[in-house]
Structure 1
Amino acid sequence: MALPRLRDELDLLPGPSLADGQPSWTLHDPVRHQFYRIDWPTFEVLQRWDLNDPQAIADAVSQATTLALSAEDVVAVVEFLGLHQLVQPEGADAPAKMAARLAQMQGSPMNWLLHHYLFFRVPLVRPDAWLGRWLPVANLFFTRSFAWMTAVALLWGLSHVVRRWESFSASLVDTFNLDGLLAYGAALFLVKLLHELGHAFTAKRFGCRVPAMGIAFLVMWPVAYTDTNETWRLTDRMQRLKVASAGILTELVIAAWATLAWALFPEGGVKSAAFVLATTSWVATLAINASPFMRFDGYFILMDALDMPNLHGRSFAMARWKLREWLFGLGDAPPEYFKPLQAKALIAFAFSTWLYRLVLFLGIALLVYFYFFKVLGIFLFLVEIVWFVWFPIRSELKVWKARWADIRQQPKSRQSVWVVLLALVLMLVPWPGRVTASALLRPAEQWPVFAPSGARIEALPFKEGASVAEGDLVMSLYVPDLVVKRAALQARLDQQRWQAAASGLDEESRKRLLVNQQSLQTARAELAGVDAEALQFAPRAPYAGTLKDVNPDLQLGQWVSRKEKLGTLIKANSPWLVETWLDEDAVQRVRVGDAAYFYKDSASGAMLRLTVTSVDQDASRVLPKPELAAQWGGHVLSRDKNNQLIPERAIYRVSLKIEDADRLHFEQSARGHITLHASWEAPASRYFRQAVSVLMQESGF
């Protein structure tokens, strides 16, 4: 077969040595600004391209070198060059082929729109000449002296942050407002501009051309970019690594000096700006740019550190091959040969990247759905799911379809089918249910003692565990405002009594008789109200029982705050019960009469057998027992609002009685965990109910 002619404008540049020790070269396509690394056999084939015959080239390479090539190896090189349009189009149908390929690359108008909605670039400047003029100034930041100064600034600044952490964290909280968000936006723009200049100047120092800088839009989110493809000309791997890491290092330098500025400057605008710059740089660097799972700086740094171009593509190919071997056992050769440990690391990296991207793209899809109005949000949500999730899966399924004849013949394929069917059965068949949650063991009848308002303790006749008779004074509290108010009302009442008694002495007082009597009744009612309020500060036992949960630090003369719990009176011979609050998913599986077990968190005492006695039909708006809140070691997710615990999801109270309670004796309330034997349920039903609930909620039904 006659070989196609190579394009005249292609550049062949020396490359670094590969991992196996063989030399490599870089093939540069200046029209599309693309670089391709080729190995030694490909280079030898290109050197003898003018022989114009695959077999002749293979024989010449085999005779002149230690390589043993065949005509098929040369044909593979021809196919590679043709696939990447590195040869000249020839023949009468060449224009038609080029037009068809262009149409295939561009796709339909809808495909073009969807692709460019997800990602497109807007070049803004051609900075190469400007970078050359300012390179002598930028070189000052690449010196070892500046690196040592930055390290000292970082340590100095961090030492101040550690010593003044409360002030630093308070500044972070204070910036969560509109002005703070605007400041962070401006700081992020500045940091990203300097980030890209770090890449650009580093590449320029090593003799690379920087043709463009601009803005790229990733799902309509603007991010700066710098075209540093010329770094593939560099044969030194460390130089490419320095270019890739220059952006992150620039942000870290900004963060170091901004942290020092925050520590040294007095309160004011400069200190606030330094704080915003420091936090923005740290967060943006560690949370975004350092990730190797997306094509950000972390990926290129890892790629250059391992000297493994196209790391994502090669690791994905290895993972897809390994997945087929796990599922079908086809016995195919791996796409590339690596050392066993290196191959395992690449496969693990690929699966981690897929999982990371799945979570990220689902999050972006949900953000798009909730950010835009519903019709557009649903459309963009579907675009995200189809483009980033379904298309990669569909691509792999096409490979399975093409290899179906081989797949169906493998014994391992049948094993995989049985495993999948078994998993589906396990997900769809109901299983005996079990619900676990934190719970509270307490007496059914108990009387909490609270301070109605701020007061001073006047009397504590009973201590912890003391027996209290019905009507006994549990404690006495003194409220100065209430005492003053009562004294004033008593004086007013005495005055009204005197006026009412003297109303018949003269004509003028007789005219005011009804008014004085009405005022006297009002004063008596107000005094009675104050006396009733005073009774709340002298609580008496409503029944005989035992006083529990008394703070041992309480002393006479000590002040207590409003609504502060001072103790609990447990009724004598009161039955005990266990109660908990379950979310709507769990409570649907619980019925009255279900069995349960309770054990204390302290692991003391025997396990208690329980029976569900009641399940509330109405959801609780607040969590009345803080012991069950997640922030206090319980299971109910809640947030504090106006000194009340508001559950994140609807919760329902479940009460349980203790079996054989007559033979058990409890001293005080205790928190523990319960295990409920709930109704049978298929594992998949919960997810199905949740999906239906979300669909109905979002559709407005």
Structure 2
Amino acid sequence: MARVQLHSEDWYRVSALCPWLRPQVDVALHEYRGDPWYVLTDKSSGRTFRVQADDFEILRRFDGQTRIDQIWNDIAWSHKRDLPPQDEFLELLSRLYEAGILAVDAVPRALQLAKGQTAKSREWIARFLKSPASQKIALWNPSNVLETEVVTSFAHFVFGPIGFFLWAIAVVWGGFMALSYWAPLTANLGDRVLDPGNLLIMACVYPAVKLIHELGHALAVRRFDGSVTQVGVMFLVFVPMPYVDASQANAFRSHGARALVTAAGILAEFAIAGVAMILWAAADPGLWRAILFNTILLCTISTIFFNGNPLLRFDAYYVVSDLTQTPGLATRGQTLMGRIGKQFLGIDPGPDTETGGTLERVWLLFYAIASGIYRLVIVFLIAFGLADMLGAAGQILGVWVIIGGLIWPNLKTLRTLSTSPETLKRKWIVMQRTLAIVVLLVLLVAVIPLPLRTTVPAVVVPSPSAAVYSRAEGFVEELSVTEGKVLFEDDPVMVLDRDAMRTEFEALEARKLATKARLRAAQDSNELPLADAIQTELSAIADGLEQLQAQIDAVNITAERFGVWMPALRPIKYGMMVTRGQQLGWIIGNDDRRIVAQIPQSSGPAVRSGITGASVMVAASDVRKINAQQLVVRSDVSRILPDPLLADRMGGPIMTDLESPDNQFYALNPAFNVVSDVPLSDLAIGRVVQLKLSHPPTSLFKRYWPRIVTAVRSRFGPGA
């Protein structure tokens, strides 16, 4: 890279200083993608700093006696390396000093020590104000215990071939048991987890699991002859859990060793989950099984979303950093984003300290954006969770978490950026570009209408016109159809037992004969009023006989159309009692299909705005447009499914309440029912497709602002 402007106008401010490396700084040589780097670790704070080999050659000259201008001049006359511009030299000095790696003689040592002690004493207050839900308290130094021969030998055993073999057995066996018992393990999971008694068990199990997790880190450090000098308690969302300081692993030269130390806690939790799953499968219902269930849950779910997620600065983040050989992944990504942002605003970003190539820079930017979005989601989830669980106190803490985790850091960054000399030098250009960006964002978010679509899963079901109902009551005496049988008009379907109806018919016939005899007697005795009454009774008996004869004829159930027989959800079997009006099944012709779906309640504004187009996506390459006028959408939400085939218990996509009656399924959440009669003769009944609805274009603000207001008001509003 070409060097420009060697001299700096600020050089005179530091040229007479004589810096030196602080005595508590350890130096370790690492190799990243074939290039040597030196990692400087401050043992008192645990902070690390990474410099290239050329820059470390400069640091080696910092002995507390040699002036900075002399060091720079010596490098210039040595001709051994490119002479760094004074601005880059100052940038390196500034970063090292702020990281606590360098000390200088510019401030009297007593005054500097006093300031350092004061800042250190106030550090925990700043941490608490920034993040009240996450704090650390150091307790003791466990090195005397961990560095014994017994513990060291055990560490070599655990992280040796035999330990890996036992770990693999536990994880594979536990995974197999989880798949085998998946249904009972996950049945009604949400209600089981949120039960107050279960939450109490979880609160007791969590610290024990994390104790083994941290023990895994400590043993991994001892496996490579490192030291653990601090054990303490960390509060994460006010839940106490142990922690160990494994920062000495930063001095390990091997990437694999550092990655193993970082991943040891995750590996330990997977082993715990495997063993707990094996024991859970063999345990009887009770407290012990509940403890095992929560152990499985904590060692899998929390690992996936927190320790095992590289988007947060927990274990997986450092594993990814070591395995991809990109140390300082988050910091470098944020720095690179900040540099691009400054260039976009017209601010001089200063010397480019990023050493990665094009692909590595793309990876850093991708990670910075993804981790920022995930952090935003996690902060709001924690804040909303506190508000939901702790009432008024949770509302205060939730607002505090949002301010400390999002608002305050961004305000500090904005203040630093707006008051920097580089910004003030070009403030008019910066203001113009900032205003342009704000106007553009307002246009994109609140003014410009964007296409709005809703996609929901739908199921192909039989049309109501294809249903076959019983017009009589009786036991099934003959059954002539099976599923999939092709029927023509007048083909027999089933015959019901007619003996009871014949007996009733014969009794009614006898009553008719007796009534006729009474009528003749009344007429012979000239009792006209009595004769009229008997005549009325005789007419009623005749009507009853006619209806009964129709029922007797109806026991012979035949096909009234051409189609394929599909039995009812509760199939009719030989000898089963059938009631009048009961559905027996469907005779499905080519056009006897329709689709049913449920639109979530959250999409209510889009549904009410209208539907301008619709299509059915059968496969990625098979999208069929349908007439939006054929869609029938209920204007009110309901938990009742428009067709049982939508229910998850019938193979459909909608989760249903386990307490739903057999003849009616209720969705867990209310939704808008959608029905559409469309020609889908080539699709099987029960086929799940995607229904895509188009709505009038609307701005992002109108689309999402009501949801945001509802979510915030329900947790932080009056009466929440």
How far apart in 1 are the matches of 2:592 and 2:32?
A: 79
User: Are the aligned partners of 1:292 and 1:298 in contact in 2 as well (CA < 8 Å)?
Assistant: yes
> Which of 468, 472, 477 is equivalent to 1:458?
477
How far apart in 1 are the matches of 2:272 and 2:171?
A: 12
Q: Calculate the TM-score normalised by the size of structure 2.
A: 0.68
CA distance change for structure 1 residues 683 and 612 in 2, over 3 Å: closer, same or farther?
farther
Moved more, 288-297 or 144-153: 144-153
In structure 1, what is the equivalent of residue 514 of structure 2? none
User: Are the aligned partners of 1:550 and 1:566 in contact in 2 as well (CA < 8 Å)?
Assistant: no
How far apart in 2 are the matches of 1:194 and 1:542?
A: 69
How far apart in 2 are the matches of 1:308 and 1:600?
A: 42
The amino acid that maps onto 1:212 is Q
CA distance change for structure 1 residues 552 and 124 in 2, over 3 Å: closer, same or farther?
same
**1:216 positional shift:** 0.6
CA distance change for structure 1 residues 641 and 2 in 2, over 3 Å: closer, same or farther?
same
CA distance change for structure 1 residues 591 and 633 in 2, over 3 Å: closer, same or farther?
farther
> Which of 261, 283, 287 is equivalent to 1:243?
261
Output one character per residue of 1:118-159: Cα deviation in whole Å (capped at 9) or x when no partner.
3211223321112123x4244145249962364267348736
Pairing of 1:26-175 with structure 2 (within 5 A): 26=40, 28=42, 30=44, 32=45, 34-39=47-52, 40-47=54-61, 49-63=63-77, 66-67=80-81, 68=83, 75-76=90-91, 78-85=93-100, 86-87=102-103, 95=111, 99=115, 102=118, 106=122, 113-115=128-130, 117-133=132-148, 135-143=149-157, 147-148=161-162, 150-151=164-165, 154-155=168-169, 158=172, 162=176, 165-167=179-181, 170=184
Q: Calculate the TM-score normalised by the size of structure 1.
A: 0.70
How far apart in 2 are the matches of 1:244 and 1:605?
A: 48
Pairing of 1:353-432 with structure 2 (within 5 A): 353-373=371-391, 375-398=392-415, 401=418, 402=420, 403=423, 406=426, 409=429, 417=436, 421=440, 424-425=443-444, 427-430=446-449
CA distance change for structure 1 residues 80 and 289 in 2, over 3 Å: closer, same or farther?
closer
> Which of 341, 349, 356 is equivalent to 2:367?
349
How far apart in 2 are the matches of 1:159 and 1:263?
A: 11
**1:368 positional shift:** 1.4
How far apart in 2 are the matches of 1:174 and 1:443?
A: 32
In structure 1, what is the equivalent of residue 469 of structure 2? 449
User: Are the aligned partners of 2:133 and 2:236 in contact in 1 as well (CA < 8 Å)?
Assistant: yes
User: Are the aligned partners of 1:585 and 1:686 in contact in 2 as well (CA < 8 Å)?
Assistant: no
The amino acid that maps onto 2:144 is A
How far apart in 1 are the matches of 2:583 and 2:488?
A: 17
> Which of 301, 307, 315 is equivalent to 2:319?
301
- For structure 1, the residue ranges without an aligned partner over 5 or more in a row are 491-531
Output one character per residue of 1:630-682: Cα deviation in whole Å (capped at 9) or x when no partner.
88787866545424332454444567799xx9xx9999999887776755644
**1:224 positional shift:** 2.2
User: Are the aligned partners of 1:547 and 1:567 in contact in 2 as well (CA < 8 Å)?
Assistant: no
The amino acid that maps onto 1:132 is E
How far apart in 1 are the matches of 2:177 and 2:602?
A: 47
How far apart in 2 are the matches of 1:657 and 1:264?
A: 50
In structure 2, what is the equivalent of residue 316 of structure 1? 334
The amino acid that maps onto 1:118 is A
**1:390 positional shift:** 2.8
**1:49 positional shift:** 3.7
In structure 1, what is the equivalent of residue 30 of structure 2? 16
Pairing of 1:547-558 with structure 2 (within 5 A): 550-551=565-566, 557=574
The amino acid that maps onto 2:379 is F
Output one character per residue of 1:532-585: Cα deviation in whole Å (capped at 9) or x when no partner.
99x999967999964867437988736489998422589x9x999987665556
**1:226 positional shift:** 0.3
The amino acid that maps onto 1:379 is I
In structure 1, what is the equivalent of residue 515 of structure 2? none
How far apart in 2 are the matches of 1:38 and 1:45?
A: 9
3-state DSSP class of the match of 1:320? Answer: helix
The amino acid that maps onto 2:319 is I
- The question of 1:229 aligning with 2:247 is answered yes
CA distance change for structure 1 residues 390 and 116 in 2, over 3 Å: closer, same or farther?
closer
**1:288 positional shift:** 3.5
How far apart in 1 are the matches of 2:553 and 2:153?
A: 80
CA distance change for structure 1 residues 592 and 293 in 2, over 3 Å: closer, same or farther?
closer
Output one character per residue of 1:150-193: Cα deviation in whole Å (capped at 9) or x when no partner.
42673487368648953476466599577876666655443322
How far apart in 2 are the matches of 1:307 and 1:608?
A: 53
**1:237 positional shift:** 4.5
**1:360 positional shift:** 1.7
- For structure 2, the residue ranges without an aligned partner over 5 or more in a row are 1-14, 508-546
User: Are the aligned partners of 2:29 and 2:36 in contact in 1 as well (CA < 8 Å)?
Assistant: no
Output one character per residue of 1:215-265: Cα deviation in whole Å (capped at 9) or x when no partner.
111221333210122334444554434432333344445556667778999
CA distance change for structure 1 residues 277 and 595 in 2, over 3 Å: closer, same or farther?
closer
User: Are the aligned partners of 2:173 and 2:274 in contact in 1 as well (CA < 8 Å)?
Assistant: no
**1:8 positional shift:** 6.8
**1:425 positional shift:** 4.8
- The question of 1:289 aligning with 2:307 is answered yes
- The question of 1:645 aligning with 2:665 is answered yes
3-state DSSP class of the match of 2:147? Answer: helix
Percent identity among equivalent residues? 18
The amino acid that maps onto 1:388 is G
How far apart in 2 are the matches of 1:448 and 1:636?
A: 26
How far apart in 1 are the matches of 2:90 and 2:593?
A: 85
How far apart in 1 are the matches of 2:465 and 2:287?
A: 60
3-state DSSP class of the match of 2:137? Answer: strand
How far apart in 1 are the matches of 2:272 and 2:129?
A: 37
Q: RMSD of the TM alignment (CA)?
A: 5.9
3-state DSSP class of the match of 1:611? Answer: helix
In structure 1, what is the equivalent of residue 525 of structure 2? none
How far apart in 1 are the matches of 2:428 and 2:497?
A: 87
Output one character per residue of 1:566-620: Cα deviation in whole Å (capped at 9) or x when no partner.
22589x9x99998766555656566899876676969999976463697655443
How far apart in 1 are the matches of 2:320 and 2:675?
A: 56
**1:367 positional shift:** 0.9
How far apart in 1 are the matches of 2:683 and 2:57?
A: 86
User: Are the aligned partners of 2:159 and 2:220 in contact in 1 as well (CA < 8 Å)?
Assistant: no
In structure 1, what is the equivalent of residue 234 of structure 2? 216
User: Are the aligned partners of 1:316 and 1:350 in contact in 2 as well (CA < 8 Å)?
Assistant: yes
In structure 2, what is the equivalent of residue 509 of structure 1? none
3-state DSSP class of the match of 2:411? Answer: helix
**1:284 positional shift:** 5.2
How far apart in 1 are the matches of 2:313 and 2:236?
A: 11
Moved more, 238-247 or 432-441: 432-441
CA distance change for structure 1 residues 656 and 201 in 2, over 3 Å: closer, same or farther?
closer
Moved more, 152-161 or 620-629: 152-161
3-state DSSP class of the match of 1:390? Answer: helix
**1:202 positional shift:** 3.2
User: Are the aligned partners of 2:49 and 2:99 in contact in 1 as well (CA < 8 Å)?
Assistant: no
How far apart in 1 are the matches of 2:334 and 2:198?
A: 41
Output one character per residue of 1:47-91: Cα deviation in whole Å (capped at 9) or x when no partner.
354544322222234445713356666655553454345426765
The amino acid that maps onto 1:210 is V
CA distance change for structure 1 residues 56 and 406 in 2, over 3 Å: closer, same or farther?
same
**1:292 positional shift:** 1.9
